[in-house]
Amino acid sequence: MINKGNLLDKLFYSFTWVSALSVMLIMTGVFVSLIVGSWLSINMFGVSFLSSTVWDPNTNNFGAAVPIIGTLTTSLIAAILGIPLSFGIAVFLTQLCPHALKYPLRIAIELLAGIPSIVYGIWGLFVFAPFFEIHIAPWLTSAIGPLPYIGVLVRSRSFGIGVLPAGIILAIMIIPFISSVMRDVFEIVPEPLKESAYALGATSWEVVWHVILPYSRVGVSGGIILGLGRALGETMAMAFIIGNSNQLNLSLLLPGSTLSSVLANEFSEATGDLYTSSLIELGLVLFLITSLVLSFSKLLLIRLAKREGQRR
Amino acid sequence: MRLWTLEHSRQLINVIGLGFCLVATAFVLFWLLWILSNLFYEGLRDFHFSVFLQMTPAPGEPGGLANALWGSLLLTTFAILVAIPIGVLAGTYLAEFANFSWFAAVTRFVNDVLLSAPSIVIGLFVYELYVKSVGHFSGWAGVIALAVIALPIILRTTDDILRLVPVNLREASAALGAPQWMTITHIVFRVAKRGIITGILLAIARISGETAPLLFTALNNQFFSSDLNQPIANLPNTIFKFAMSPYADWQRLAWQGSFLITLWVLYCNIVVRLFFKSSGVIR
């Protein structure tokens, strides 16, 4: 009887161990399979793959610079718009909001995170892009267009779909992630710290800006980078709204492409080994970038958790 | 007349700052309402129950989404059935057997990176691993891709929730002579049941709307099929194809499909919240 229990214990233990190991295997497998799949393209183009702006299936000449720049640009736009808004939401939910509204508002914001990305895509394509073309783009062109330096970004005619509208949709998509991390780290700021600032006569905003924000700096950065990681890898919404152009344009109103959108649009129709292999290398680049960004965010959040643990 | 003092500018900054927070919250809620209202309007306009019964049509002909809905149901069900045992057991290993070891720390780290990895990359992985060696797109490839996406979610919630189960329950069970596997399956799992189910529901909500990993795995199919060895129709890919098409009736079906998916995902999310209201485990 005891032996049987022991055997089952060992069996159960091995099952759980193998399952836990599978996570590592998957991670390694993703890396290895992407490298194997893109080997042809890595050999053919080398490092210049990253800097070449040509993407021409007809001449079998491929470079990743345009989608890399597109990915970084859309994520940057999303960050510029999304970070202040997320910060505002987190401050509102933790400091200002009446207690009864807190939970429903929290759920409403989190519902945004639940909406599948393809729904953002179809909505962006049929509703937001026309709205952007008619109402926002002409206004941007007339307001910012004449300015030196940045004016050139918005001087062209908009077709609705393009880099800037894609960035705006992306901002809405990452706000729930960033604001929920910010909310969590704002909530762990010790009450006595805030109360002492209030006792010294600080206004609510001064408490937020000079007490809460410095205290939760690490966590806030972790949340922002987590959101960025999401933005970099976002696929379906981008495939719908960015317009899928392999040309490099200075104007944000014109179509562009991201690493993920090129994959989504071209992979299943790609012919020829080199074409497929180059597409897989795009995936490899994307996976490397997002893994680095996400690891960095995780390290920040883990550091925060450790500090929090020591304090208690 | 009073002078403009430092006090005044501090108050002004306060009002502007807090006002911005209020406006930011209202602005984002406005987007939520904007998206949902459009989705409900476009989804319910001309909505007919034949959507559930008829096949995806050729352009210009009447039809529904029956094969796509059926395919999605099959893919999601099998993927979640694959992911549940692996995810729950792996979470059990981390929380019960290796809680403070470096192996657990690394696995949690890798799991979190995998959790947020772009889903299209998972699709590429399964393409390289399975589709290429089998030689054709298939439903099973889609199942594997979705399972890889569901796994980290289930693992994470199981791990989190098991670590919340009080140690004295385990000690009491051990003191009564129960072997560890029995303690875990009969005591710890029972206490943590709600949390584990929450993770599973979250995983279902996430994979039902996933499109990118199915693009080069399950592909799509115009016809009704239950054969997972062949390309199989699925709702997200059908929406992608129909929405990008120039045909008005295909676009209408794409809206209706999006409406159904969103309704289902929001339903899962709300059930999770009602089911698990009082715990801080879900993020």
- For B106-147, write each residue's pLDDT tens digit: 999 999 989 889 999 999 999 999 998 888 889 999 999 999
Nearest to B120 among A110, A260, A295 (CB): A260
Question: Residues B13, B127: one domain?
Answer: no
Chain A, window 173-232: residues with a beta carbon less than 8 angstroms from a chain B beta carbon: 175, 180, 184, 203-206, 208-209, 226, 229-230, 232
The letter for the amino acid at A262 is V
Rounded to the nearest 5 percent, the helix, strand and coil shares of chain A are: 80, 5, 20
Q: Are B236 and B143 in contact (CB under 8 A)?
A: no
Say whether A8 and B181 touch across the interface (CB within 8 A): yes
Shortest distance, CA B202 to any CA of chain A (angstroms): 9
CA distance B3 to A311: 45
Cβ atoms within 10 Å of B162's Cβ, excluding its own = 23
Contacting residues of B for A175, CB less than 8 Å apart: 28
All residues of chain A having their beta carbon less than 8 Å from the beta carbon of residue B114 are 23, 26-27
- CB proximity A155 to B under 8 Å: no
Residue B261 lies in a domain: yes
Are the Cβ atoms of B117 and A30 closer than 8 angstroms?
yes
- B27 and B87 belong to one structural domain: no
Q: Give the CATH number for residue B161.
A: 1.10.3720.10
- Token readout for A33 is 């399979």
The answer to whether the CB atoms of B219 and A268 lie below 8 A apart is yes
* Same-domain status, B19 and B55: no
CA distance to partner chain B, nearest, from residue A26 (Å): 8
Q: Is the Cβ pair A23, B23 closer than 8 Å?
A: no
- Domain assignment present for B39: no
Residue B37 maps to a domain: no
Helix (H) or strand (E) holding B240: helix B235-243
Examine the domain organization and report whether B102 and B208 are in the same domain: yes
B127 neighbourhood in chain A, CB within 8 Å: 37
* Residue B38, in any domain of the structure: no
Whether residues B4 and B103 share a domain: the answer is no
- Fill in the amino acid letter for B242: F
Q: Are A174 and A231 in contact (CB under 8 A)?
A: yes
Q: Is A280 on the interface with B (CB under 8 A)?
A: yes
Q: Are residues B2 and B109 in the same domain?
A: no
In the beta sheet, which residues pair with residue A55?
A62
Q: Contact B116/A92, CB-based, under 8 Å?
A: no
Q: State the nearest Cα–Cα gap between B262 and chain A, in angstroms.
A: 6
Cβ-Cβ contacts under 8 Å, B282 against chain A: none
Same domain (yes/no): B8, B71: no
Q: Is B248 helix (H, G, I), strand (E, B) or coil?
A: helix
Tokens of B267: 């339903």
Task: Indicate if B181 and B110 belong to the same structural domain.
Answer: yes
| Sign of torsion over alpha carbons A200, A205, A209, A215 | positive
In a shared domain, residues B69 and B204: yes
Q: From the list A17, A33, A226, which residue is nearest B125 (CB)?
A: A33
Is the domain of B238 the same as that of B142?
yes
Can you give the residue range of the structural domain that contains B2? 1-32
Whether residue B28 sits in one domain with residue B88: no
User: Same domain for B116 and B245?
Assistant: yes
Per-residue pLDDT of chain A (312 residues; tens, 9 = 90+): 456 668 888 999 999 999 999 999 999 999 999 999 999 999 999 889 999 888 988 888 899 999 999 999 999 999 999 999 999 999 999 998 888 998 889 888 888 888 999 999 999 999 999 999 999 988 888 888 888 888 888 888 888 899 999 999 999 999 999 999 999 899 888 999 999 999 999 999 999 999 999 998 888 998 899 899 889 999 999 999 998 888 888 888 899 999 999 999 898 888 888 999 999 999 999 999 999 998 888 888 888 777 766 554
Question: Is B188 within the bounds of a domain?
Answer: yes
The mean per-residue pLDDT over the stretch B238-261 comes to: 92
What is the pTM for the complete model shown?
Answer: 0.91
User: What is the number of structural domains in chain B?
Assistant: 2
Residue B44 lies in a domain: no
Residue B42 lies in a domain: no
Asked if A69 and A247 count as a contact pair (C-beta separation under 8 A), the reply is no
Domain assignment present for B40: no
